[in-house]
């Protein structure tokens, strides 16, 4: 889908084609049948654009919920976009941490008048466990805001805005947002999304190079450098677009900043005095947010949808033999190097100082770790593992691993399981030796 086709999609004829494409998709129509049906009354380019949007909207429901039904997407933009719950959490924290320099502002005073379409040719905290309601650095744990936005409280410059997922969350949190992106099509999509969700009064979107913007006049710089290229995901921050040094140069000229980055960012790249917050959603780590120039500092892990947050207490975890229970910390705590804090919660110890598995003799309920009851432990051997599972008549296994080079899918096939029982197989390393633990989920007992 190109820029012309997308603009056509916003016209009445395009909206009619899109509605028909959505109806066909919901009915489960074969793609060829759907295309043939639409082409009877619409040009090929418009047909393709409508079918693409209908497909992307269905995929986007997992991230954007009900909003996806009226939003617009590009395949690349949808891949990098943050799900609504995570973006809303970050926007709430931004509202607490990035107070306006001169009090509340009005929409008319903070954003440019709505632009006409841009032609790319002619217009080139101290406690380790923090209550998110009472800790101002954590932000309140509340449901994502989906209604009309409140009066704007501060101005945000969102560079590399993509399709506008974070623009939407920031505007709903009460910010006046000036958003830019280098790609004209992406800019059009972000602008259309703000309009579709009734946020145009708070949002301005324009085509611009992030490196040529001036964040000094804003209360907050929000940067989400591109982390996908022609070959897929980019893990090296030096290969982000803009690169990490270029992003930090922007940050140096901003009052406060929030940088959305991949959860694997090396800790040594976090600016001194900043806070790095790793965020998980339903046990899956989604991203890291680096807060610069705010009252927050250090390392933080946040779990959604509960909003529970964990910060460093300086705890140090001991190592020791396997106990009756095995705890697997939430991925956000692992990424934030807060495993020792989780171990302190459950009164546990590490199996190995370099592996994020905690063991203990008592069962302690915590949302910061999944708990399993250990039924057996042995040095790793496919033959012995297969025999142990067969003796237990295990036909279904959940395989987990940390510090193990074993290929999980290959192991699953090689086990050749049969039986009506289930088990959790944990592959790990202790003192550089491979081990396997057989477990049951603690809830079964």
Q: What is the pLDDT of residues 105-130, one digit of tens each?
A: 433 333 433 333 333 322 333 333 44
Q: What is the mean pLDDT of the chain?
A: 88
Ramachandran quadrant class, 298 (left: phi over 0; alpha: psi -120 to 50; beta: rest)? left
**What is residue 239's predicted lDDT score, i.e. its pLDDT?**
87
Cα gap 3→83, rounded to integer Å: 25
Residues 335-361: pLDDT tens digits?
999 999 999 999 999 999 999 999 999
**What is residue 138's predicted lDDT score, i.e. its pLDDT?**
61
**What is residue 445's predicted lDDT score, i.e. its pLDDT?**
39
Cα gap 108→182, rounded to integer Å: 25
Q: Which CA distances in Å does 247 have to 89, 205, 418?
A: 22, 20, 54
Residues 203-216: pLDDT tens digits?
999 999 999 999 99
pLDDT at position 162 over 60? yes
H-type alpha helices, 103-226: 107-110, 165-172, 184-196
**What is residue 126's predicted lDDT score, i.e. its pLDDT?**
31
Burial state string for 408-430 with b = 16 or more CB within 10 A and e = fewer than 16: eeebeeebebeeeeebbbbbbbb
**What is residue 379's predicted lDDT score, i.e. its pLDDT?**
97
CB atoms within 10 A of CB 203: 29
Residues 370-391: pLDDT tens digits?
999 999 999 999 999 999 999 9
Pairing of strands 257-261, 228-229: unpaired
SS3 279: strand
**What is residue 101's predicted lDDT score, i.e. its pLDDT?**
53
Residues 34-74: pLDDT tens digits?
999 999 999 999 999 999 999 999 999 999 999 999 999 99
44: its two tokens: 């090929």
One DSSP character per residue, 67-89 reads GGGT----HHHHHHPPPHHHHHH
pLDDT band at 152 (very low <50, low <70, confident <90, very high): low
SS3 98: coil
**What is residue 234's predicted lDDT score, i.e. its pLDDT?**
83
- φ/ψ of residue 387, rounded to 5: -65, -40
Question: Counting beta carbons within 10 angstroms of the beta carbon of residue 285, is it exposed (0 to 12), middle (13 to 18) or buried (19 or more)?
Answer: buried
* Percentage of residues in the chain having pLDDT higher than 70: 87
SS3 244: helix
The predicted model scores a pTM of: 0.85
Instruction: With residue 148 as reference, give the H or E element that holds it.
Output: none
pLDDT at position 145 over 70? no
């Amino acid at each position: 889908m190109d820029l012309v086709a997308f603009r056509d999609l916003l016209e009445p004829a395009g909206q009619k084609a899109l509605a028909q494409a959505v109806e066909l998709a919901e009915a489960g129509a074969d793609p060829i049948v759907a295309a043939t049906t639409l082409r009877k009354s619409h040009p090929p380019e418009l047909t393709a654009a409508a079918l693409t949007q209908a497909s992307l909207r269905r995929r986007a429901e997992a991230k954007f919920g009900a909003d996806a039904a009226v939003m617009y997407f590009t395949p690349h933009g949808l891949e990098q976009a943050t799900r609504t719950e995570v973006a809303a959490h970050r926007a709430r924290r931004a509202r607490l941490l990035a107070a306006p320099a001169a009090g509340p502002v009005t929409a008319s005073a903070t954003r440019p008048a709505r632009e006409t379409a841009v032609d790319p040719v002619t217009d080139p905290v101290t406690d380790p466990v923090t209550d998110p309601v009472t800790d101002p650095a954590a932000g309140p744990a509340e449901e994502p805001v989906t209604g009309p936005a409140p009066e704007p409280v501060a101005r945000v410059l969102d560079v590399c805005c993509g399709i506008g997922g974070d623009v939407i969350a920031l505007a709903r949190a009460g910010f006046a947002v000036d958003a830019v992106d280098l790609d004209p099509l992406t800019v059009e999509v972000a602008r259309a999304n703000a309009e579709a969700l009734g946020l145009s009064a708070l949002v301005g979107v324009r085509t611009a190079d992030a490196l040529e913007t001036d964040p000094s006049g804003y209360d907050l710089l929000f940067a989400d450098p591109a982390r996908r290229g022609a070959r897929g995901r980019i893990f090296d921050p030096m290969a982000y677009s803009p690169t990490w040094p270029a992003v930090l140069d922007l940050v140096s000229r901003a009052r406060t900043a929030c940088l959305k980055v991949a959860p694997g960012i090396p800790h040594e790249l976090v600016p001194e005095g900043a806070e790095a917050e790793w965020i998980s959603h339903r046990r899956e780590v989604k991203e890291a947010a680096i807060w610069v120039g705010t009252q927050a500092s250090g390392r933080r892990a946040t779990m959604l949808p509960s909003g529970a947050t964990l910060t460093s207490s300086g705890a140090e975890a001991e190592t020791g033999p396997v106990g009756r229970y095995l705890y697997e910390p939430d991925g956000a705590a692992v990424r934030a190097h807060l495993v020792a804090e989780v171990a302190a919660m459950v009164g546990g110890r590490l199996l190995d100082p370099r592996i994020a598995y905690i063991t203990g003799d008592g069962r302690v309920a915590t949302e910061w770790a999944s708990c399993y009851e250990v039924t057996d432990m042995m040095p790793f051997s496919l033959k012995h593992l297969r025999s142990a599972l067969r003796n237990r008549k295990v036909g279904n296994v959940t395989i987990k691993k940390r510090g193990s080079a074993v290929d999980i899918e290959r192991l699953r096939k090689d086990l050749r399981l049969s039986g009506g029982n289930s088990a959790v197989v944990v592959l790990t390393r202790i003192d550089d030796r491979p081990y396997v633990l057989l477990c049951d989920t603690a809830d079964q007992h």
